[in-house]
Structure 1
Amino acid sequence: MASISETLLFFSIILALSRAMHSASVVEDLNNLKPPPDFSTTIRNNCIHNPSLRYCNSSDLNEIFKSTIVASHLCNESRNPNCVETFPKIDLRSRPKIAPLYLSFSFFWKYCPLSILSIDLSNNSMKGSFPIDVLQCTQIQALDLSHNELTGDVPIHSFSPLTNLTLLNLSYNYFSESTMSDTEFFKRFNASSFIHSGLLPNQKKFTIKVIILLVGFPIFVILMVGCFGWLFFVRPDFLPRVFRRENKFTPSMLKAATDGFSRENLVGKGEGVDMYRGVLRDGTQVRIEIYRDDISRESQRRFEEECKVLVQLSHENIVQVLGSCSRRKLRAIITEWMEGENVEMWLSRSAPSWKHRLKILMGVVKGMCYLHEEWPEVGYDLRTSSVLLSDNLEPLISRFKVGDQSSSTRKIHKIGVFLLEILVSSRLSDESKSGEVRFIDHIRKHYPGNLREVIDERMKMTENSFDQAKQLIRLGLMCTDQSSSHHPHLSQIADIITRAYESWNVLASPTHKRSPGDKGHKRIQSR
């Protein structure tokens, strides 16, 4: 067998087995036949004469023997004229029951005979992925896998060793469309090799995609811009913070925060203003003052300018303004929500101690000084009903007016009235100006000799605290004296209240020792 031509070395093995196999099926022969005694010698001699034979690098003689059995059967199935002398082609076209069987013999393709130049597996209804094993026959010149139902990707890189391949037909399959048309491998063949294979760009589908892109993309952009615009102008609280207009609220945001301006969230009502409790989308609780009067564009502009100033106010005794909503028929100021009550409710509900009353006065004056020094253009409504209390009884000035032209005398008058309301047992007037005058006159009649008649009798006062209260009532009367042209300055008022507060703290300290003649802690008995 060593003298046989190198191209037919492989078939010298088949010759020794052909008689026994013609009457048996390939599966039966694989199970029953054993290598002849000189099989190993034959393989060795063949590899000496032709080292390029694929089985020469393998030591698995049993696998090599099985491949020769499959080769003999496949040669006959492929209708080769003389399977002993030549095996030029594998022709299993239109053999759907046999083709999958031979494709399953991976050991055969591993030792694919070098004489095979053509493989035809067309029209077999084969399903699944590309039969990559056949590409181990790297010497082939023609490969036909057309008219099947193959799917998935074509292993383009596995075709690289097939340098002799000149005819390829992958038509009528369902491969995945890829960038195969851009590869050098693809350029070796014409389009007829890939008709309806899924590999060629479908011109009709391409046209549809272009139309969808040209028409759909602008529509998508318009919808996105419209959606973003709607969010930006109507519900900016759904946008990331970087896209929001700082301190700006919209009617829709306020409506959502108050559950549609429900009665349950209405906490106050005045002339032209409704006050609501609301919860913003991020969970922040807020107080919303809504003004529903129709105003001119100039008034709306002034309101917006005022709000730009108010959101910049920052002090522990001033309610934080979070933002505003400015529309001609709906304006609103949004501030932080305070769970507590106002000073008027606090005075009427409880019996605040002298210490707590001083603390309220101290906080209000500090807030006034801040506004006077930092924001002189900001006016404020200083009344016990408009000063709120935080959880730790810190007073918070809550109503402002930017561009307030009130004179300093008027502001001093307001702090005087507020001071007197803090100390006197009850306000003997209504909110009108005449009521305020009667209230002040009532206190002035009892000053200084009969102040115990007007000071809140619920306070348990020492002589020292009574003296402090007397001094502060005198200060309040000086601030509200309409007949005088000289009133104390805000800095003087702050200094007097601060000294009274600090003095009380010293007297109330456990470490403070009374002198033998000190009667400061003697209780004042109310009449």
Structure 2
Amino acid sequence: MAPMSENFIFFFLLTMATCSSVIFSASVIEDLNTLHPPLDFNSTISKNCHLNPSLRYCSASPMDLIEIFKSSIVASHLCNESRNPNCVESFPKIDLRSRPKIAPLYLSFHFFWKYCPLSIHSIDLSNNSLKGSFPVDVLECKQIEVLDLSRNELDGEVPFRIFSDLTNLTVLNLSNNKFTESKMSDLELFFKRFNSSSFISSGLLPDHRKYQMKAVILLFVFPILVIVVVWFLWWLCFHRPDFLPRMLRRKNKFTPAMLRAATGGFLKKNLIVKCKGVDIYSGVLRDGTEVRIEIYGNEISRESRKEFIEECKILAQLSHKNLVKLLGWCGNRGMRAIVIEWLEGESIDMWLSRSPPPWKRRLKVAKGVLEGMLYLQEEWPGVDYDLRTNSLLLTRKLVPLISRFKLGHRNGSSNNIYKFGVLLLEMIVNPQLRDEIKQGESDFVGYIKMQLPNNLQAVINEDIELQRESMVNQGKAAINLALMCTDQSSGHQPNLKYIFDNVTRFLSNHKMHETEEGRHTRILSR
């Protein structure tokens, strides 16, 4: 018998003696399930180990007899599948290249690799589309000289340390796989031992194309990305800061892009008023706030634009229930606008024309306007305002709001009192005289003075119900107060506090009369 045949005495003679059909069985799985060790199996192992103590199963425990028997069956099949010429005498190689259906099966037989025959010197498992991690079990055959795992889909790390035990291994081929890129220190040892072609496209070597791609990214893509990011941040900061967190926004500052978005691109349906020099739009900010946007079309100088911004900064600080809240402004070169809170209501002019309001409500509106004027006089004496009936707004709850402001002069108190006198006259006199006031007639005040005190009906609005004599006298007193306000001669014009006290007294007296009338009506009803 050849020198190598003693390694096969156990599994070939054993299987030939127990069942002559093993080699020719339909499949290795069937034989593993149907064949069982013969009665003299243990003694046969002992004889084989006596002849060759280096056999791997010689150090096995009695509990491993079934695995040893199974490994002999797998060895018999695998020797034939590998096309060895005489499996009884020799088993020099395992050749399962391009056998993707059976290669994974034999790799799964851990017990076979554990007792790998010492005669095997070559293992070829190439081109089998094997997946998963490196088949470590194969390295149990420490005597092998050739190992080919090329053209598969193996991934993960290669167990370099285990290869140090394979001292006879001279040919290794791991090319065309998907292993994890390894440290150069590990690869340098392998380059000294094996040809570098063994690792082509294995994933172990640094991919120069990958580094080239990184270089391209660093040299071209990254700068472009930086430019895009910088442009995007610039766009956020200077065009759409409303997308930034609130803490990063410039307070009260609006951009043309923000106003364009709020009005749907300045759609005509959002245009409320269009007149000379100003367009007024309704809009909705990104956070859902409804606003009124006033856009001024006339071009101004750079210095005037700075003054406009400074004015807006001051006006944004105004806070009173009878003042419209300025939310912000736009002071760009291409657009000048202010953004104020949206109010569901109408102007005082529309309110007086639409349906004649009662005397009590007129007094409440006048008192509200005075409260706003007193706040501005005490807190912001440098802020001027417009008191025309078409610029004063009313909420749905009939709260009057001063809506037009500008930075005036500290000596403007007299002029503001004059404007309130005109406003009070507009709220009291008949519609014809109101039209004269709007047309800027210079002698309407004199005309009203001539009609008082005897011809009150020619002046006062006939829709105001002044039934009692006390209420008629109150109407006369209100007109006299308004005329006093329009008298700007030295020492004759009352101050705001005096005017406010009188309007408050008118309102209190009216409420007292209402209470007395109600009590009188209840007494009569009894």
1:199 CA displacement: 2.6
Aligned to 1:72: 76
1:63 CA displacement: 5.4
Aligned to 1:100: 103
Q: Which runs of 5+ in 2 are unaligned?
A: 1-5
Q: Distance in 2 between matches of 1:39 and 1:180?
A: 46
Question: What secondary structure does 1:246 align onto?
Answer: coil
Given the alignment, which residue of 358, 376, 382 partners 1:377? 382
Classify 1:76/1:389 alpha carbon distance in 2 versus 1 (closer, same or farther; 3 Å). same
Aligned to 1:475: 481
Given the alignment, which residue of 169, 172, 189 partners 2:175? 172
Q: Distance in 1 between matches of 2:471 and 2:49?
A: 121
* Pairing 1:490–2:490 present: no
Classify 1:509/1:134 alpha carbon distance in 2 versus 1 (closer, same or farther; 3 Å). farther
Q: Distance in 2 between matches of 1:169 and 1:427?
A: 111
Give the length in aligned residue pairs. 506
1:292–1:329 Cα contact (<8 Å) kept: no
* Pairing 1:250–2:289 present: no
2:56–2:115 Cα contact (<8 Å) kept: no
Taking only the aligned residue pairs, the percentage that are identical comes to 45
1:73 CA displacement: 3.0
Q: Distance in 1 between matches of 2:239 and 2:422?
A: 44
- Single out whichever of 42-51 and 481-490 deviates more from structure 2: 42-51
Given the alignment, which residue of 13, 16, 20 partners 1:15? 13
Structure 1 residues 268-347: aligned runs within 5 Å: 268-347=273-352
Classify 1:376/1:44 alpha carbon distance in 2 versus 1 (closer, same or farther; 3 Å). farther
1:121–1:146 Cα contact (<8 Å) kept: yes
Q: Distance in 2 between matches of 1:500 and 1:45?
A: 131
* Pairing 1:30–2:28 present: no
AA partner of residue 208 (structure 1): M
1:449 CA displacement: 3.5
Classify 1:248/1:97 alpha carbon distance in 2 versus 1 (closer, same or farther; 3 Å). closer
RMSD of equivalent CA atoms: 4.0
Structure 1 residues 81-480: aligned runs within 5 Å: 90-92=93-95, 94=97, 96=99, 100=103, 102-109=105-112, 111-113=114-116, 115=118, 120-130=123-133, 132=135, 134=137, 137=140, 139=142, 144-151=147-154, 153-156=155-158, 164-165=165-166, 167=169, 169=172, 171-175=174-178, 178-181=180-183, 186=187, 188-190=189-191, 191-404=196-409, 407-426=412-431, 428-430=433-435, 435-463=440-468, 464-480=470-486
1:209 CA displacement: 2.0
Q: Which runs of 5+ in 1 are unaligned?
A: 1-7, 519-527
CA deviations 1:40-78 (Å, max 9, x no partner) are: 677799999999859957958655533320023334655
1:258–1:278 Cα contact (<8 Å) kept: yes
1:403 CA displacement: 3.6
Question: What secondary structure does 2:156 align onto?
Answer: coil
Question: What secondary structure does 1:428 align onto?
Answer: helix
Q: Distance in 1 between matches of 2:212 and 2:348?
A: 75
Classify 1:118/1:299 alpha carbon distance in 2 versus 1 (closer, same or farther; 3 Å). farther
Classify 1:328/1:98 alpha carbon distance in 2 versus 1 (closer, same or farther; 3 Å). closer
1:83 CA displacement: 6.8
CA deviations 1:284-310 (Å, max 9, x no partner) are: 322121111121111111111111112
- Single out whichever of 28-37 and 379-388 deviates more from structure 2: 28-37
1:420 CA displacement: 1.7
Per the normalisation by structure 2, the TM-score is 0.82
Q: Distance in 2 between matches of 1:54 and 1:298?
A: 103
Q: Distance in 2 between matches of 1:55 and 1:509?
A: 118
Q: Distance in 2 between matches of 1:444 and 1:385?
A: 25
Q: Distance in 1 between matches of 2:433 and 2:49?
A: 125
Q: Distance in 2 between matches of 1:58 and 1:363?
A: 107
Q: Distance in 2 between matches of 1:392 and 1:57?
A: 99
